[in-house]
Amino acid sequence: MTVSRTIFGCPVRSIAFDVLVSGLVLFFGLVAVVAQPGGWKTALIGVGMAVALLFRRSRPFAVAAFVGALGVVQLIAGWGPLPIDLAVLVALYSVVKYADRLRDAVLAGIGALAGAVPAALQIENGGRWWGSAIVLGLVTGAVWLVGLNVRTRRLYVLSLEERAATLEREREAEARAAVAGERTRIARELHDVVAHSMAVMIVQADGARFMLDRDPEAARQAVRVVADTGRQALEEMRRLVGVLREPSPPEATAGTEPDDARVGGDPERRRLALAELPALLDRFRAAGLRVRHTVTGEPTALPAGLELTVYRVAQEALTNVLKHAGVGAEVELTLEYGADDVIVRVVDDGQGRPAVNPTPAGGHGLIGMRERVGVYDGTLAAGARPAGGWQLDVRLPLPSNAGMTEVIVA
């Protein structure tokens, strides 16, 4: 594993390189005291340039302007190009590479080229100052182009890093959304399995306690319903836990349904279908509801997910009738098959016996039904009837393409 060491937020290697370059310019400046024109004045200019170069990464344009100003002072003094002018090229390179705006690099390049002419005039070259000017211009242009190439590569790498960081953030957001969706799916499934069964068991247990002395046979029947409902709930819970324990469920290929979405197959893994609706109605009849079931239109084969939605809507609606209308309420469940949709209608008269211990309000039944129906772009309408009782109407559009990818709502 590579460990990147930093000082004040900057890599150690970058700081060491800048110190080395500044030290080299400082050395040339100190040598100027005895070996270059200007003496200690030139040395002061070299020291200023060396110190300024330490900030070339964080303040590139300011450093280039400061170093350029010291170079102008040197030319005005008539000392000509000196070794300390290495700082001018380093500052030019730095502003091209690190400046936020390319305009700063262009201004620095123009300034450096403009300084090449007076610098060439102070070089003793037999009167051929223009040759020196061309050499200085070529060196300046080469440094500028190298800086531009490095800048382009640096910005490209930064863009790749930013893109990678953006993709990572998007993956994290998608993962959080997937987790939230999975939690919602599990909560909905637990509500379907636990809340519905527990509501039936509570109603029957209360009835058994109430009828234990008056009608032992009715009490035994209620206890039998409690036991049967508990077994059914336990089977559903085992199926749910089995699915949750799978580390990596097999992915379905395009145009096919997952194994646990198929109606046939392993009974421990299969999903509920409309073929099991009569058994569901029998359980509610045994719980004390007077349920009538009507089918209108020509029944058509529905996708597994749509069948599950119809089944869960009917289960939730009948459970709400049992909890709120009470035992003995009359309910009519109607399935209407149309050319473009299937309609589920549940109507009760609200005239059942109230529960001994009413179920507290604040459930999530209607919310869960709206979520299921919304997946298939369906509509849900529920409300009290003027004549008493409650009515629920759910419309689910049929898929236009039989080969479309099926969405399974657990």
At residue 243, the pLDDT reads: 58
Ranges of the chain with pLDDT below 70: 1-10, 32-36, 38, 124-127, 182, 186, 189-193, 195-196, 239-272, 354-365, 401-410
At residue 73, the pLDDT reads: 85
d(CA 382, CA 95): 69
At residue 242, the pLDDT reads: 66
Considering just the CA atoms, what is the radius of gyration of the chain in Å?
41
- Through-space distance between the first and last CA atoms of the chain, rounded to whole angstroms: 44
Domain ranges of the chain: 6-169, 178-397
Pick 178-397's CATH classification: 3.40.50.300, 3.40.640.10, 3.30.565.10, 3.40.1280.10.
Answer: 3.30.565.10
Tokens at residue 247, please?
């580390």
Contacts for 212 with CB less than 8 Å, ≥ 6 apart: 219
pLDDT digits (tens, 9 = 90+) for 62-98: 888 898 888 888 888 877 777 888 888 888 888 988 8
Instruction: For tokens 């170079």, name the residue.
Output: 71
d(CA 157, CA 260): 46
- What is the identity of the amino acid at 145? L
Backbone angles phi, psi at 250, to 5 degrees: -65, 140
Assessment of whether the complete model's pTM goes beyond 0.75: no
Report how far Cα 131 is from the mean position of its chain's Cα atoms: 62
